[in-house]
Structure 1
Amino acid sequence: MTEGGIFRLDAALPDGRDPTRFLIGAVELHAWAAGQPTIVVAPGMTGLESLPIAVLQPVRDTLRWVGAPEAEALPLPTDFQPLATLAPDEETAASLTARLPPGIAVLVGPNPLPALLARLAESLAASEAANRRALGQLPPQLHGQFKGSAPSLTASPRHHAPDIAAEMAPTGADFQDLKLYQHNLSADGGYRHLDLGLIGLASASGIWREARLKLFDRRGIIGMEFRNLRGWPKVFDPWPEGGSDRFGPFWRLESQGVPAALASLSSLQNRAVVAALLEVLPAAAREGAALAELSEQDREAWVVRGTNLGAAVAMALHSPATTAGTPAVG
């Protein structure tokens, strides 16, 4: 049912099913119905594996998670509304959306991630606003029982958990220059990193003469690594709880396990520098990859890694579990 990567709607399915609508895997449908953020992408689109959302692609006329085995399939509900549909060009987008319910946002282009992240942020903000409105409509005696992401109105001003999502929101961060300390690629290709120094990092929350980090990809897990070593400018105060190896202490923020890493950032300064770095990470990754004289394709891959890590953190910041797990401050 595809030709050159483009869906064709002019051929009947062999079992007589309606060719104008996709099916959807039963497991995938139940996950979407339970509230899992979901996108639908055209075949062949890559670089989305580490996004903290469900990525569906058509496989034999059925929408399935990328890499999932073929299993039971169900008719696509008429109210199926994922966050967006992603396609590399207008023709592919038209063929894809023709088999989906109307009203789904369509993001077209070879790199739709920035637009997807903006839409994700809008969705999260709308959810947060709805939670706050619902809290405001509750009787005061029930505020403490509300399970949304808004902070409890009954909390003491001195001991309430900080609004980390607000503290780490984008503020227009930027940097003046960039150093490439090292580009590393393992022999088997399973690990790679860019060791970067961002000179003159600045945001609305602070200014740092230099912030050094390793942006890495370890078999699809994207992360930033910081070291408490000579030659690494001090950006954390206090040093967050992390790990240690033969080189010394390190702290990592990875696309898996984001809430635990954020919980170790016990000061506003620490959260501010991480937020600023995440905001500029795609641009820093591109510049670092260029300094490493990588191909344009590899440069774009590093941009996608930086973008995906930011998306993973954005999802965790707006998760009720992350907000509820924030330590109280005095």
Structure 2
Amino acid sequence: MTKTNPGNFFEDFRLGQVIRHATPRTVTAGDVALYTALYGSRFAVQSSDAFAKAVGYPRSPVDDLLVFHIVFGKTVPDISLNAVANLGYADCRFIRPVFPGDTLSAQSEIIGLKETSSGKTGVVYVRSQGFNQSGDLVLSYIRWVMVRKRDEMSQVAEQSVPSLPEVVSVEEFGHALPQIAGKLWDDELAGSRARWDDYRIGERIDHVDGTTVEEAEHMLATRLYQNTAKVHFNQHSEGAGRFGRRLIYGGHVISIARALSFNGLGNGFHIAGINGGRHVAPLFAGGTVYAWSEILGREPLPRRDDVGALRVRTFATCDKPCAEFPGRSSQSYDEGVILDLDYWLLIPR
């Protein structure tokens, strides 16, 4: 009987396989405070019980991305402990709010497998879900990750690449969201006067500020999520060895970009869904992250007149201020781009 967990390799996965992940996690006010210390996020709904109650929440909800990272961290020992790279995200839906005191657990289903042309690795497509202590679904997302083989000569009997939606439908949003009292939404306290009607499709917003990442803080952040991927901690791991230093968890970049987006999107109080995302290039300690966003769409929510949805595409860069809006041109990315994230942001009307 094997007592230690070496993680799954590509040939260990099977289509339709369901994995129930270990270690449920009760989210505390301490987790929220540490998350704020790491990223400096200033969104009022997640920062103030008084503000949250005034606009319709029972108290401040946990930051959407903290929920995402905790659920993601549960999946790492079973899905991506032997990963070469996390390749992308799709069909991510934040279904109901999480509050301090809630306990999160996770499970995943393997929905696709595809061996790479080298034969040394394969891409695993997985839908992961997070649940609270009552069994209510709070988060669902698809990601695909390149995983090493244990034996390069091994064969995987059944392979399939799933069809993924390009955009999460706004019909998915708002069912568990409280009615937001827009008249009680204090723009001054929220830090922005711009609401849903004030944004235009095609508008570009330079979030201006930058955040330099230190070695200790990115490892502390990843441990906060109980993410055990070796490349983030172990200088001698195979993944870190490829670059000669530890890789920063891609979710760390997403959270930095979200925190920076307060400057320009300060009333965007809830990430409702992620349509797609890609970690374009790795980030290492010492790099400074900047971000800018483009408004791709504006959609009213069905049967809701209190909030609207903005489709936002945020690019994060390393050591490259975003005044010139570096992004993707044709099939390639401009130098310095490290993150390309397409998501729906809810904002009061």
Q: What TM-score does the superposition give when structure 1 sets the normalisation length?
A: 0.30
Identify which of structures 1 and 2 has the higher relative contact order when contacts are C-alpha pairs closer than 8 Å and 6+ apart: 2
Query: Which protein has the bigger strand share?
Result: 2
Query: Which protein has the bigger helix share?
Result: 1
Structure with bigger gyration radius: 1
